[in-house]
Copies of this chain bind each other. A is one copy, B any other.
Amino acid sequence: MSFPDNLKPKEPSGASLLARERQQSPIAVDALGAHIFAGTGFLARQARVLSVMAAEPLLDKSRQQQLSRVDRVRLGLARGKLLRRLQARHGWDMDDYHMAAYLLGEQSPYRLHVGMFRTTIQEQASDAQRAYWMPRVDAWEVTGTYSQTELGHGSNVRGVELEARWDPAAKEFVVHSPTLTAAKWWNGSLGRTANHAVLMAQLMVPDPKRKGEYVSHGPQAFIAQIRDAKTHLPLEGIVIGDIGVKIGFASMDNGYMLFDQLRIPHSALLSRYVQLDPETSVFSKSPNAALSYGTMTSIRTVLVEEAGTHLARAVTIAIRYTAIRQQFKDKDSQDPGRDELQVLDYPTVQYRLFPLLAAAFALQYTGKVMRQDYAKTRGEVEQGNLDGLAVMHSHSSGLKSLSTEITNAGIETCRRAMGGHGYGSGSGLVEMQKDYQAKPILEGDNWMITQQTSSFLIKRMAAAVETRGEPAKDQTDAQLKTFLDQKDQGRAFDILNNDSDIQESFRWRAASMTYDAYKARVVDKKKHNDLLIQFHKLSHAHSSSIMVASFFTTLTSSHDLPPETKEVVLDLYRLFAYTAIQAESYECKDLDALPDRIQALLARIRPHAVKLVDAWQIPDYLLDSALGRYDGNVYDDLFNRAHRLNPLNDVVFNPDYKDDEIIKGSGERKPLSSKL
């Protein structure tokens, strides 16, 4: 017992300030939570899985940021094993398992095994291959990675250099890296964990007409063993390793891999959509090969939902902390005895945080709509109707880009709004932000993939122009044709007084920008590359319109919210739309009225801010944040983390520069973790 143990933070306490916040707002927290997660079973699953995890010392997060990279990977692997055992012990289904990974909040070295490795086999293996591999994958008898990007090629998949040459005599593929840049690179779970890989390699088949020459059939997926089952060392002819430290993803072994004439059997080629006849060496492709894009679409859809949950975490922390943090007295107040202001009372703080609060709601509504659309499209595909796939692919690309932009920038804004303490690990944002910084470049770089959205829109506009006068064939067509019919007289929107007009104005703007892009590329035949900036803006405008419409439609068509709660969420809708209009300087007659409107909305939302974030019900365990604690005991927690949990404080240093000694004899350090 030393004197700090008797000290309390100054009054009023964080707990009392949060209690006051919760008292002053009529928001129906539980109803709003149920509304947000309606139909997903999310909250019940979260509670059930969390109760199991809470009992496991290995899943305690308090010292993990102190570890060396090697120890961090060890810890990640140990936890990965534990989660799999918990799955077996408690009979968790895959949704339970993913919930546990979500709550742990780190990149598991098994992530690719349960993710892209499994998904790719499931979707691209023939029935026979599925029957062979899936039981082994699900029992974790093999552990896998998905190996596509290379040292020299990321976005341009068609440019991968790894070769798989068909040897008709031996009926084997010879996998070979012709250059250093052909090294597989960045592949998660590869560096130290996986013993199998799905490999993307250029399929090369001997040219029947020119002896010694090969015909390329582009990058195809193969499955291969890469490490020895017993020694776990790379097989002869393969070199594998971890690529090193990254911004985040510390627990993940992103790897590299090179091949020297490795031979794999004919059965390695994943053959649901492509086949190579082992007898004739004839290559064939199924007409449904485009279905393999489904994986990418599904992952991008998940990234949109994830953008919502991650932004919600950052916003929860920032709003709770700025509600208990007090700094400076009101300059216009006459009362010298008054407390310092809560930081959340400053319009400069509301101006940064509340649009993000609104954006998190927008992302959650959008994720929900995307999930429903994706399920519908998948259903249609199974009925043989592939039309919806291209729409889904276009929407998911643009939304992945916009949503991860919003969240990546939003986390930094939340961090910054918390001042000094936002920079420390007690914020709970340090690891989360570092990990999240991968998302804008992952699964398609955010600038690159907006071309997919704009190309789709331009194609659809060209079709609408050509078939003008004919009935619309789907929703996109209808919107574009409406625009074509009305564009000459123009349309006026009353965004200040009509909530539906707000979303209509976004739609109109997206259609108008689609028309401009169509004109530039198709009519005026401008160079593709010279239009890339315009395409990017078009994609973001289109994605914004989807977000605004998803927000409006889902909210206004729901009947599960008390009216005063619904009205506050409607204010968030308005704020989200107005700040987007202002940031992009949309051409809009009401632009000059927006700053005052926005400041009025900030003031209206202010009393409800804490209860709005409470509604997400993000557990303290996931937040791992002294600043964002539900109970508001911020300062005690920060002090506890520093004073009692920081291993650096077990070491006494010698600061005398003339002395070689670094650590003074009396202060020998204890091991960093006794858990491993």
**A residues near B, CB below 8 A?**
2-4, 7-10, 65-71, 73-74, 77-78, 80-81, 84-85, 109-110, 140, 143, 149, 151-156, 159, 161, 177, 179-183, 185-186, 191-195, 231-233, 239, 241-247, 253, 256, 258, 260, 326-328, 330-332, 340-341, 345-349, 351, 412, 415-416, 419-420, 422-426, 430, 433-434, 437-438, 440-442, 445-447, 527-530, 532-533, 536, 585, 595, 599, 635-636, 638-639, 641-643, 645-649, 651-660, 662-664, 666, 669, 672, 676
Contacts and interface: CB of A to CB of B under 8 A. Distances in A.
A346 B245 CA distance: 29
Contact of A244 (B2, B260, B424): B424
A67 B660 CA distance: 20
B246 A423 contact: yes
A262 B266 CA distance: 79
B430 A655 contact: no
B646 A533 contact: no
Given A156-B327, A664-B231, A194 B655 contact: yes
Contacts of A84: 657
B256 A642 contact: yes
B70 A672 contact: yes
Contacts of A233: 652
Given A66-B68, A245-B65, A646-B241, A327 B159 contact: yes
A8 B179 contact: yes
13 contacts: A4-B258, A9-B151, A66-B245, A70-B669, A154-B327, A231-B666, A243-B638, A244-B645, A247-B424, A256-B639, A341-B529, A416-B446, A585-B585
Given A9-B179, A529-B346, A533-B348, A192 B420 contact: no
A645 B434 CA distance: 23
Contacts of A659: 81
B347 A149 contact: no
| Closest 6 pairs (CB-CB, A-B) | A68-B68, A7-B180, A245-B425, A81-B657, A84-B657, A241-B649
A122 to B, nearest CB: 20
A340 B154 CA distance: 13
B7 A177 contact: yes
B533 A648 contact: no
Contacts of A647: 69-70
Nearest to A237: B3
A351 B529 CA distance: 12
A192 B648 contact: yes
A317 to B, nearest CB: 14
B232 A652 contact: yes
Contacts of A340: 156, 159
Nearest to A248: B423
A638 B243 CA distance: 8
A332 B424 contact: no
A56 to B, nearest CB: 14
Nearest to A643: B241
A341 B527 CA distance: 14
A331 B245 contact: no
B529 A635 contact: no
Contact of A424 (B245, B529, B649): B245
A74 B662 contact: yes
B419 A348 contact: no
Given A179-B10, A233-B652, A441 B419 contact: yes
Contacts of A243: 424, 638, 642, 646
Contacts of A532: 346-348
Contacts of A415: 247, 437
A635 B441 contact: no
A174 to B, nearest CB: 14
A441 B424 CA distance: 12
B242 A646 contact: yes
Given A10-B161, A180-B8, A192-B653, A78 B662 contact: yes
A245 B182 CA distance: 38
Given A10-B181, A69-B648, A243-B646, A419 B672 contact: no
Contacts of A2: 239
A643 to B, nearest CB: 6
Given A7-B180, A109-B655, 10 more contacts: A69-B647, A70-B647, A70-B669, A70-B672, A77-B655, A140-B657, A156-B327, A244-B642, A332-B528, A347-B530
A191 B655 CA distance: 12
Contacts of A669: 70
Contacts of A77: 653, 655, 662
Contacts of A422: 441
A258 B654 CA distance: 21
Given A246-B424, A662-B74, A330 B655 contact: no
